[in-house]
Structure 1
Amino acid sequence: MDPSKVSIFKTYEKPKGSRDSSSFATYMIIAPTCFFLGMLFSSFPYDFPLLWTSDVTPDAYYDQLETHLKFIHASPPIIPRILHMAISIGFIGFFIKLFKPSEANLLFDGASMVLYLIGVVVYITNIVKGLRIVTLGKYEAPPGTTEPAIGREDSLRVMAASNTILALVLVGVIVLQVGQWYAERKEQDEIESFEGKQAEKTAKKAEKGNTHVTRSASKKKA
């Protein structure tokens, strides 16, 4: 392995305490992300007939879906508070990891944070807004506005598509975090392998030096 590459690795090598905090911050990112994916998976049975089948969806299904979404929107305040706390935990994890950024942080954590922000934007602009529209039952555009009119079926399909987009974004966050862990693990293995080889070379040189000194001393005695 090229020693210049090892010097680069050592430049970005983190202290042990920093690695522990980084690992904890990674858990703070992955845990909320998996939590959100679980919520989206629970909505998949409702979204599947709207997006992934070519069969005609009966009107009774839309009525049932509307009831389900109204029930979610009318949930107690503790439910959205827990959700927002989980979102905040993810952001805190990103801030901890990017407090002292390295090359790996800027590449993996920076991209992960961008995807996380996109997910929050989709949640606020599409899902929260869609829940309010469903609760009010006002699918048509208000009078005197230039907004395009979207019916009930199209509005519910937009919400289902938003759930799918959000799920893909969150999967991207997990993939990037796993990729960062693999890259750091591979880098550490290469550093340890190079240091082991260097230690073996040093030990062999020392052994040869001791052998040479012993032979010289024995010649002098003779």
Structure 2
Amino acid sequence: MGNIEWQYIFDPELAWESLPFLISGIPNTLLIAIISTFLGLIIGLGLTVMRLSEMKLLNFLAKVYVSFMRGTPALVFLFLIYFGLPFVNIQFPAMTAAIICFSLNSAAYISEILRSAVSSVDHGQWEAAKALGLGKGITFRAIIIPQATRIALPPLGNVLIDVIKGTSLAAMITVNEIFQNARIVGGREFDYMTMYIMVALIYWLICSIFSYFQTYLEVISSRYVIQK
């Protein structure tokens, strides 16, 4: 232990000097994560409806989509969008490509979460709504979805946190987010170790803040649950 040269592992002076530049990448990181999760939620809801549909074709297409997205690395899909689509004359800016990638990828996981949450709602709710003369559409929107949302809230929060961490992949297509800024400083100063430790700490702080708000929302939503 005494022979370890700690200055080559973590340089406090470099970390402090580069902190403003690293932090400047946070807006892009959060922008990608929040927009991607929001769009993923919309797409995921549509996939959930398809999975629950009695039409076999819609059900099959949704299953294939979810299987493909869950079975392929996000980085590969990101490269397909950013580097592959230009070959068919479709080109997106790096930021847009990252948002498309993470939106479509997160939608697969969100759809499974929503499907599971909807399935966990007591089937008696459907029967009660039918007895009241409510159609399937309004029953789904006004009765099932609100209950399923409370059930799905914790895993949906986890998806958002995973997307926040996953945005580091956007550095591979030169998006100026946290990890990309760390790579720039690390290459300039020949000290990647310090930068990667700083990146880990910054991501940890961001995810901890979002985890706190996730817990807060869970507490708020649980207030409206009737205790048996």
The answer to whether the superposition gives a TM-score over 0.5 is: no
Larger radius of gyration: 1
Please give the TM-score of this superposition, normalised by the length of structure 1. Answer: 0.29
Please give the TM-score of this superposition, normalised by the length of structure 2. Answer: 0.29
